[in-house]
């Protein structure tokens, strides 16, 4: 653009507004310092350019196998947290998570020319995560068995009270309570067997049945005991 008079000062003399716009690789250069100056006053002054640059960052996605490792690790962490929140001891699976995390981070930090090494890291992480999931499943099953044992322990306390008192040691209701208790214990035993065989889902089913039977037995035991007897 060529400078031309577009304004006048108080004396009627033309004032030049010299503006040069240049678009260079996405940057705008604006010549400044010439606004409102008389041509004679400007002399041989060179306009000073001000450059405004916008930085654009492009994020390159991770290769699919490595991204899968990242996603799998995140999913494993979520599963651990969900069981931790309900009181399950997840210490062993958490250790597996930390081991897998090291390999996932290693895979993500590899240079482009170390693709094979990155894939190998991802495979190791996947194997550890699979092991961790099995351990987490076992921890969950063991927790369910521990919960199922609580009402049975309560029944044992009632039975001990019966046997510990001369007046109730031979109570007619005691055999029925003991029989119901043994049924609940048998379910606990089956749950533990399933854990030993790696059938953690089935173990949780037996543990739930044991819990229900234990609670039922405890309720029946309390009904059979007069309140003053337990005071």
From the list 179, 163, 180, the residue with the least C-alpha distance to 171 is 163
The Cα 195–Cα 191 span in angstroms is: 6
Q: What local confidence, expressed as pLDDT, does residue 40 receive?
A: 54
Give strand pairing partners of 50: 30
Question: Is beta strand 14-16 parallel, antiparallel or unpaired with respect to 5-8?
Answer: antiparallel
Q: What is the pLDDT of residues 109-157, one digit of tens each?
A: 999 899 999 999 999 999 999 999 999 999 999 999 999 999 999 999 9
Residue spans of the domains in the chain: they are 5-52, 64-230
From the list 163, 157, 165, 92, the residue with the least C-alpha distance to 131 is 92
CB of 11 closer than 8 Å to CB of 22: no
| Helix, strand, coil percent values for the chain (each to nearest 5) | 65, 10, 25
pLDDT averaged over 10-residue windows placed end to end, the chain, 231 residues: 42 40 40 50 56 57 87 97 98 98 96 94 97 98 98 95 84 91 98 98 98 96 66 44
Give strand pairing partners of 7: 15
Q: What local confidence, expressed as pLDDT, does residue 48 receive?
A: 56
DSSP string, 137-182: HHHHHHHHHHHHHHHHHHHHHHHHHHHHSTTTTT-TTHHHHHHHHH
From the list 8, 65, 58, the residue with the least C-alpha distance to 38 is 8
């Amino acid at each position: 653009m060529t400078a031309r008079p577009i304004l006048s000062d108080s004396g009627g003399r033309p004032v030049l507004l010299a503006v040069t716009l240049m678009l260079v690789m996405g940057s705008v250069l604006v010549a400044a310092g010439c606004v409102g100056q008389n041509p004679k006053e400007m002399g041989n002054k060179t306009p000073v350019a001000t450059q405004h640059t916008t930085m654009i960052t492009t994020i390159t996605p991770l290769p699919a196998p490595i991204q899968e490792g990242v996603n799998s690790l995140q999913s494993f962490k979520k599963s651990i947290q969900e069981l931790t929140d309900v009181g399950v001891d997840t210490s062993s699976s958490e250790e597996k998570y930390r081991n897998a995390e090291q390999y996932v981070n290693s895979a993500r930090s590899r240079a482009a020319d170390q693709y094979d090494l990155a894939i190998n890291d991802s495979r190791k992480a996947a194997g550890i995560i699979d092991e961790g999931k099995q351990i987490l499943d076992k921890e969950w099953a063991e927790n369910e068995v521990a919960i199922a044992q609580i009402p049975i322990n309560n029944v044992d306390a009632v039975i001990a009270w019966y046997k510990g008192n001369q007046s109730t040691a031979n109570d007619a209701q005691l055999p029925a309570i003991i029989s119901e208790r043994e049924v609940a214990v048998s379910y606990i035993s089956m749950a533990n067997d399933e854990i030993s065989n790696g059938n953690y889902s089935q173990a949780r089913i037996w543990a739930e049945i044991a819990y229900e039977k234990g609670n039922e037995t405890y309720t029946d035991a309390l009904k059979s005991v007069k309140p003053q007897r337990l005071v």
